[in-house]
Amino acid sequence: MFRLIVLSLALLAPLAQAQLVIEITQGVDDPTPVAVVPFAWEGAGNAPVDMAQVVQEDFERSGQFSPVNRADMLGFPSREEEVFYRDWRAIASEYVLIGRASGEGDQLSLRYELYDVLRQARIAEGSVAGPAGEARMLAHRVSDAVYEKLTGIPGAFATRLIYVSVTRNPTGKDYYRLTLADSDGARPIVLLESREPIMSPSWAPDGKQVAYVSFETGRPAIFRQVLATGEREQLTNFRGLNSSPAWSPDGNSMAMVLSKDGSPDIYLMDMATRRLTRVTSHYAIDTEPSWMPDGRSFLFTSDRGGRPQIYRYDLRSGLTERVTFEGNYNARARVAQDGRNVVLVHQREGEFQIAIHDLVSNRLQVLTNTDLDESPSIAPNGSMVLYATKFGDRGILSAVSVDGGVKFRLPARNGDVREPAWSPYMQF
């Protein structure tokens, strides 16, 4: 039987990959020009990765910056004494990022400095180091630091995505792949390949494990998988639905949806004892749990009011209250780390779009103008929302900033991509 292949990070076998390509469709009106000078390489041979290019693409994708074209640069400084501010004023660049990288064995280190052209001063510097194989991730960490310096918001470039890609097979069963990639879609790694559906991937709070639903046993079951080793474990095997796993913020329990006792309800599984507690009990559908960052309550979707809406269950009081009231369909909520913004799927004029609901002001704002949007997932810094949508007749991933101002698409080179899940901040 060759229907299921589990892969770990250790064996980076690049199977037929759903590599994502990024197309920016909308940026802010007046992006800040930044020059990312190619980093000098002080090691032997050639640099393993053009890390400055990675940083430049991060800035471009943020929509808030317009990186200066390398061909327009009058020089490639890599040290402070080589930075001539008039050169950068001449090409209207407001900031200049320089750096120099060196390698020893399989270790790589990069020192970077950021200059403010108008104030003619160095405003940030730092260094990152790690395995040469993680060169792209090191570059993303530089992006994170510089982005935070320039915007005041921590960057979320050094993070990862998981998503499900489907390759249609007209003559038999489709191929389903659970794929892990960097936040820019690079370095895709297939974690699991199956001829049966894979759904609802979600991250453990430490970013080291993922949980998902796989139909490989002939019916849906929840699995968890350790990224580093590929070790996996089947957590549930109940009759009926086993879906929407969601790790609690402390990682000690997992909310999930089971229909073993009748209608789909939300259960909590204690990850140490595997003991299950039924949390909601209603003949309507209760599903899609999403934890509040404090772990004291979670949001979920229910049609107990006749139409799918978002509700909030408080674990201490056991009380359920309805959260969304605008429109006839609000589902698949995901809470941002600030505990205030909630991204969800909202139906407006018959179209399914991604909206953001403010839990404090109770206001809902639609972010996208496409149809059939689903599965929103919010970046750990709360700035961007990744979601699945249709483009042409293909399923692709798209991203939109939480103010709706920046949009980009991440179509796969082949196949359909859906159900993205943005990782939490990773430990390095």
Partner 1 sequence: MFRAIPYRRIGLTFLVGPISFLTVAISATAQDYIDVEAERRSPQTQTQTQTQSRPAATVTAPAVSYGVGTAPSAVTTRSLPPPAAAAAGDNLGGLFNQVQQLQQEVMRLNGLVEQQSYEIRTLKEQSLERYMDIDRRLASGSTSVAPPIGSTGGGASPNKPSTGALDSSGSATEVAEQPGEGEAYRAAYALVRGQEFDQAVSAFTAFLERFPAGRYAPNAHYWLGELYLVTDPADPEASRQAFMLLLNQYPTNAKIPDALYKLGRVHFMKGNRDRSREFLNRVIREYPDSSAARLAGDFLDQNL
| The one among 111, 141, 332, 357 contacting partner 1 by CB under 8 A | 332
- Rule CB under 8 A: is residue 219 a binding residue for partner 1? yes
Distance (Å, whole) CA 252 – CA 366: 34
Cross-strand pairs, 190: 179
Q: Return d(Cα 391, Cα 23) in angstroms, integer.
A: 12
Q: Which of 77, 308, 376, 415 binds partner 1 (CB under 8 A)?
A: 308
Q: What is the rounded distance in angstroms from the CA atom of residue 373 to the CA atom of residue 357?
A: 16
284 is an interface residue for partner 1 by CB under 8 A = yes
Q: Which residue's CB is nearer to partner 1, number 38 or number 404?
A: 404
Q: Between β-strands 221-226 and 232-234, what pairing exists: parallel, antiparallel or unpaired?
A: antiparallel
> By CB under 8 A, is residue 243 in contact with partner 1?
yes
Identify which range of 46-54, 116-124, 257-265, 270-278 contacts partner 1 by CB under 8 A. 257-265
Distance CA 59, CA 62 (A): 5
**Which of 267, 352, 408, 422 is the binder for partner 1 (CB under 8 A)?**
352
Q: Does 218 bind partner 1 (CB under 8 A)?
A: yes
Report if residue 413 touches partner 1, rule: CB under 8 A. Answer: no
Query: Which residues partner with 412 through β-bridges?
Result: 20
Nearer to partner 1, 43 or 240 (CB): 240
Task: Please tell me what DSSP assigns to residue 229.
Answer: T
Helical (H) or strand (E) element with 83: none
Strands 189-194, 4-6: pairing kind: antiparallel
Residue 285 binding partner 1, by CB under 8 A: yes
Which of these segments, 12-20, 83-91, 297-305, 377-385, binds partner 1 (CB under 8 A)?
A: 297-305
SS3 12: coil
- Which residues from 363-382 bind partner 1, rule CB under 8 A? 363, 365, 371-372, 374
What's 366's DSSP letter? E
Q: State in angstroms the smallest separation of the CB of 268 from partner 1.
A: 16
Residue 393: CB partners within 8 Å, gap ≥ 6? none
CA distance 246 to 249: 9
In whole angstroms, the minimum distance from the beta carbon of 425 to partner 1 comes to 27
x/- mask, partner 1, residues 143-182, rule CB under 8 A, reads -----------------------x-------x-x------
Stretch that binds partner 1, among 3-11, 153-161, 182-190, 238-246 (CB under 8 A): 238-246
C-alpha dihedral (400, 404, 407, 412), degrees to nearest 10: 30
Nearer to partner 1, 62 or 353 (CB): 353
Q: Taking CB under 8 A as the rule, does residue 27 contact partner 1?
A: no
**CA distances, 136 to each of 240, 279, 373 (Å):** 42, 42, 30
For residue 293, what are its two tokens? 């960052």
- Determine how β-strand 95-104 pairs with β-strand 107-116: antiparallel
Q: How many residues bind partner 1 (CB under 8 A)?
A: 49
Residues that bind partner 1 (CB under 8 A): 166, 174, 176, 196-197, 199-200, 215, 218-220, 239-241, 243-244, 257, 259, 262-264, 283-285, 287-288, 301, 303-309, 322, 325, 331-332, 345, 350, 352, 361, 363, 365, 371-372, 374, 418-419
